[in-house]
Amino acid sequence: MKSLEIKGLNIDFKKRNSFISVVQGLDLDILESEIVGIAGESGSGKTVSTLALADLLPEGNSRISYKSYKIKSNNVDRKQIPYFRGRLISYIFQDPIPSLDPMFTIRYQLKEILKVGSRKEVDDKMIDKLLLDVGLKDRERVLSSYPHQLSGGMAQRVAIAFALGSNSKILVADEPTTALDAHIKKGILDLLKKIRDQRGLSIFFISHDLEQTFYIADRVYIFYAGSVVEYAKSSVIKEKPLHPYTRALLDCIPKRGVDELKQIRGKSPDFGDLPKGCLFYPRCTFAMDICQKKRPPLIEVKKGHFLRCFKEKI
271 binding another protein? (CB under 8 A)? no
For residues 131 and 158, give the distance between their C-alpha atoms in angstroms, rounded to a whole number: 8
Nearer to another protein, 132 or 253 (CB): 253
Residue 211 · residue 234 · CB < 8 Å: no
Stretch that binds another protein, among 46-54, 72-80, 97-105, 255-263 (CB under 8 A): 255-263
In Å, how far from its chain's centre is CA 286?
28
Nearer to another protein, 79 or 255 (CB): 255
What are the C-alpha distances in Å from 37 to residues 98, 205, 219, 293? 24, 5, 6, 31
135 binding another protein? (CB under 8 A)? no
Helix (H) or strand (E) holding 38: strand 35-39
Stretch that binds another protein, among 66-74, 195-203, 207-215, 229-237 (CB under 8 A): 207-215
183 binding another protein? (CB under 8 A)? yes
**At residue 149, what is the residue type?**
Q
What are the C-alpha distances in Å from 64 to residues 30, 176, 204? 20, 25, 20
State the nearest-atom distance from the C-beta of 67 to another protein, in Å: 31
Residue 39 · residue 222 · CB < 8 Å: yes
256 binding another protein? (CB under 8 A)? yes
Among 253, 286, 304, 313, binds another protein (CB under 8 A): 253
239 binding another protein? (CB under 8 A)? no
Spatial CB neighbours of 182, under 8 Å, sequence gap ≥ 6: none
State the nearest-atom distance from the C-beta of 225 to another protein, in Å: 13
252 binding another protein? (CB under 8 A)? yes
From the list 97, 113, 205, the residue with the least C-alpha distance to 155 is: 97
Nearer to another protein, 40 or 165 (CB): 40
18 binding another protein? (CB under 8 A)? no
Stretch that binds another protein, among 108-116, 135-143, 248-256, 284-292 (CB under 8 A): 248-256
From the list 39, 30, 43, the residue with the least C-alpha distance to 213 is: 39
Stretch that binds another protein, among 64-72, 160-168, 184-192, 292-300 (CB under 8 A): 184-192
16 binding another protein? (CB under 8 A)? no
Query: Scanning residues 28 to 87, which ones bind another protein (CB under 8 A)?
Result: 41-42
Stretch that binds another protein, among 62-70, 80-88, 233-241, 253-261 (CB under 8 A): 253-261
191 binding another protein? (CB under 8 A)? no
DSSP state of 34: -
Spatial CB neighbours of 313, under 8 Å, sequence gap ≥ 6: 299, 301
For residues 173 and 203, give the distance between their C-alpha atoms in angstroms, rounded to a whole number: 7
For residues 307 and 241, give the distance between their C-alpha atoms in angstroms, rounded to a whole number: 10
Nearer to another protein, 55 or 174 (CB): 174
Binding site residues, another protein, CB under 8 A: 41-42, 152, 181-187, 189, 208-212, 214-215, 248-249, 251-256, 258-264, 267
